[in-house]
A and B are shown apart, each in its own frame.
Chain A
Amino acid sequence: MLLEGKNIGFRYDKGPWILQDTNIAIESGEVVGIMGPSGCGKTTLGRILAGYEKPYEGSVTLNGAPLPQKGYNPVQLVFQHPEKAVNGRWHMANTLNEGWEPHDDILASLGIEKAWLKRWPNELSGGELQRFCVARALGTKTQFLIADEMTTMLDAITQAQIWHVVLDVAKKQNIGVLVVSHEKNLIKRLCHRVVDLEAMK
């Protein structure tokens, strides 16, 4: 399995280019880090690779074919702010089972309590919500996971907890992981290789 972005260029309307001629390829089972100063297009690239945004130029392919337009997206994206990525009018159970039904052992390893399933999102903290977002994204049909500053707002213990589970599941299901972060130490710890987005421009 190969997720590939070829010659990607992106800008809003006639604004300045955010990305130009950017090439990136991630293989299954690989953990790749993206670094670069804020505003250099890390998040935009992540959104394009997951199909949230159409590139202005270039293409994104999964095993040579374009990303599927319907059904479960094999490229899952986890955002920095979990409170903006869940429906405030849904019980957590519905949010959790949106794409698939995570097994109890994943819930247990992420430290998700059964009692939380009946709660509303505003009754949980950011760290607790992010556990749900991660569980939701780790479905059996997930082939690639893009973690966009996934643990930036969390304390070190929660960060380590979540990443251990993600790396474990990624290994078992042969998922390719793209880590977007500005924390050098975290990238050094997690990734097989690092892409410097600024250097590519």
Chain B
Amino acid sequence: MSLASPIKKEQESFHIPKQQKTQRVMKLAEAPKQIKPILEVQDLAVSFSQYTEGLRQKELEVITNLNLSIHPGEVLAVVGSSGSGKSLLAHAILGILPSNATVTGSISYKGENLTSKEQAALRGQEIALVPQSVNYLDPLMKVGKQVRTAVKQGDAIKAQREVFARYQLQPQVENLFPFQLSGGMARRVLVSTAVVSGAELIIADEPTPGLDAEVVKEALNCFRELADKGVAIMLITHDIETALSIADRIAVFYAGTTVEVAPAKDFTGKGEALRHPYTKALWRALPQNDFLPIPGFQPLPNALPTGCLFEPRCQQAAPQCAMVQPKTRMVRNGMVRCNHAT
């Protein structure tokens, strides 16, 4: 752990000017005294235009009515099954969606609306992504050099060597190309890149699969540590256990929208403290809990129900649920999108 302290110093020296900048922005906006979210997503919708037959196109909505906010110093876990739109959210925030995608709604960063120009300026600087696939590494550049390019201040070589040591990557790894790494090593390289970048918002898209339990713990602790120093972390995962180990709040995704945002401490016992029936079902389906499945499956984007997205699988479903999508409400200090939540 002796290696951890120089990294901390590096980041502290890096953060001070930025925090001042944040405060300045807040003063300009005459913000209330409580901490403002660093990132706020409101009514986000993402759709893709697809060719169906010949030149005929159709719009496919994959994310609808999505609301989310994340504060400095907070770890927000985004949990949902595959195909629920988690990765697309990350790509929408960074502005790296493919050209056939249309984004509506608003994404604001530090209180200011994010335009695609600002997204391009911020990504890799203030907003860093730990991508899901190890294919995101440059195949023709040695990994040590790749990590060094992310260091914005101070001694890049030193920072890179320290972070490698921290993730148990041997010193000779810096001279290897991505194809020479195992999956776990490549993932540690990706996490290293985000850690040394000094970003204020880190979006980690499934950063842990394929890693040993020990390395997972180390990587997660590192995210937690960064958060404790004021960095906002968005941890995208399908694994609630991973999420619970470090997150402050958990946002649960289902079929392209957030059905619930709950404090992590609500995930306990039989899930009585949870608000949405899907979250409860997800919690109870874990092998260490009841291992109890519910019938059905998440609807595909081209066949979304008109009412509540969970209505076809919900035991509490009432006729009104099938008519219109429930609005988001605050219930017991958490956000929920369900007519029945109390």
Contacts and interface: CB of A to CB of B under 8 A. Distances in A.
Contacts of B285: 156-157, 159-160
B78 to A, nearest CB: 13
Interface residues of A, number: 27
B288 interface: yes
A35 to B, nearest CB: 11
Given A38-B211, A111-B296, A160 B291 contact: yes
B197 to A, nearest CB: 27
A156 B212 contact: no
A188 to B, nearest CB: 7
A59 to B, nearest CB: 29
B83 interface: yes
Interface stretch (A4-12, A70-78, A125-133): A125-133
Contacts of B292: 160
A182 to B, nearest CB: 7
A185 B296 contact: no
A188 B287 contact: yes
The residue among A159, A163, A164, A186 with the most chain B CB atoms within 10 A of its own CB is A159
Interface in B123-172: none
A155 B287 contact: no
Nearest to A124: B300
**Majority-rule SS of B interface residues:** loop
A104 interface: no
A39 interface: yes
Given A125-B83, A152-B209, A158 B288 contact: no
Interface string B281-307: 111011110011111111010000000
Interface residues of B, number: 30
Contacts of A2: none
A127 B83 contact: yes
A67 interface: no
Interface in B163-217: 182, 184, 209-213
Interface string A1-25: 0000000000000000000000000
Given A38-B184, A125-B83, A160-B291, A154 B238 contact: yes
A94 interface: no
B191 to A, nearest CB: 16
Contacts, number: 76
Given A38-B211, A152-B209, A185-B288, A157 B281 contact: yes
Contacts of B240: 156
A38 B212 contact: yes
B282 A156 contact: yes
B72 interface: no
B211 A155 contact: no
B184 A158 contact: no
Contacts of B87: none
Contacts of A161: 293-295
A29 to B, nearest CB: 20
Contacts of A111: 295-297
A190 B294 CA distance: 18
A158 B293 CA distance: 7
Interface in B260-314: 281-283, 285-288, 291-298, 300
B278 to A, nearest CB: 8
A155 B287 CA distance: 11
A189 interface: yes
A123 B39 CA distance: 33
Given A127-B297, A189-B288, A182 B83 contact: no
A164 B211 CA distance: 27
Interface in A184-201: 185-186, 188-190
Contacts of A85: none
A188 B288 CA distance: 8
A188 B283 CA distance: 17
16 contacts: A39-B182, A111-B296, A111-B297, A153-B82, A155-B80, A155-B238, A157-B293, A158-B293, A159-B287, A160-B291, A161-B293, A164-B291, A164-B293, A185-B286, A185-B287, A189-B291
Which 6 A-B residue pairs are closest in the complex by CB-CB distance?
A155-B81, A160-B293, A161-B293, A189-B287, A156-B285, A185-B288
